[in-house]
Amino acid sequence: MDLCQFAAGADETTPIEFDPHGDQGDTPYSINCKYANGLKLVMRDKGFDGLGSCAVRFEGEEGWAQTGDRGVVETSESLSAFRKEFSDSRQATTYHVRDFLDSVKSRKQPRANALAAAQTHIGCHAAYIAFQLGRKLKFDPATDTFIGDGEANNMRSRAMREPWRLT
């Protein structure tokens, strides 16, 4: 999901709607999400065969492109100029370290910064809560609360096992 948020320029927010499709334990399942600007995000467990893990697909007015950790970019015919293979796709972690060191020098945020990570996790947890409850949920990214659903809000946190706590 972090790659989708990054590509959508949505690193500082989350979707506002989570709509699960499929029962628990079933596959395939999907969770259809929607951002405040109308952009759609589909979280699904099937359909990325051969792309590796962390696979993503982007669909727009001019075509589609999809890629994953295997280092291959597949596209529709209309975007065939962007098809490519990365020989160094396994170096992603190394590039993150380089990006972090560069950010220390430049005093700018790294691409995978803390806020982007937090918002991605919030979005994933919200999606899973919708999946567990099996119903569409509305979400307010400004307050990190579900709108009009007490049960969903109760699932946002859990009591920690003693003696642990967050301070």
Taking the C-alpha atoms of residue 69 and residue 91, their distance in angstroms, rounded to an integer, is 10
Q: Which is nearer to another protein, 109 or 154 (CB)?
A: 154
Give, as one character, the DSSP assignment of residue 87: T
Kindly report the length of the chain: 167
Q: Which is nearer to another protein, 104 or 142 (CB)?
A: 142
Taking the C-alpha atoms of residue 42 and residue 8, their distance in angstroms, rounded to an integer, is 13
Residue ranges that bind another protein, judged by CB under 8 A: 151, 153-155, 157-165, 167
Minimum separation from the CB atom of position 144 to another protein (A) = 15
Helix (H, G, I), strand (E, B) or coil at 40: strand
DSSP symbols for 44-78: ESSS-TTS-SS-EEEEETTEEEEE-TT-EEEE-GG
Q: Which is nearer to another protein, 46 or 158 (CB)?
A: 158
Q: Which is nearer to another protein, 96 or 156 (CB)?
A: 156
Minimum separation from the CB atom of position 148 to another protein (A) = 15
Which of 50, 47, 49, 52 lies closest to 89 in space, CA to CA? 52
Q: Which is nearer to another protein, 83 or 125 (CB)?
A: 125
Minimum separation from the CB atom of position 64 to another protein (A) = 38
Minimum separation from the CB atom of position 153 to another protein (A) = 8
Taking the C-alpha atoms of residue 68 and residue 50, their distance in angstroms, rounded to an integer, is 9
Minimum separation from the CB atom of position 13 to another protein (A) = 22
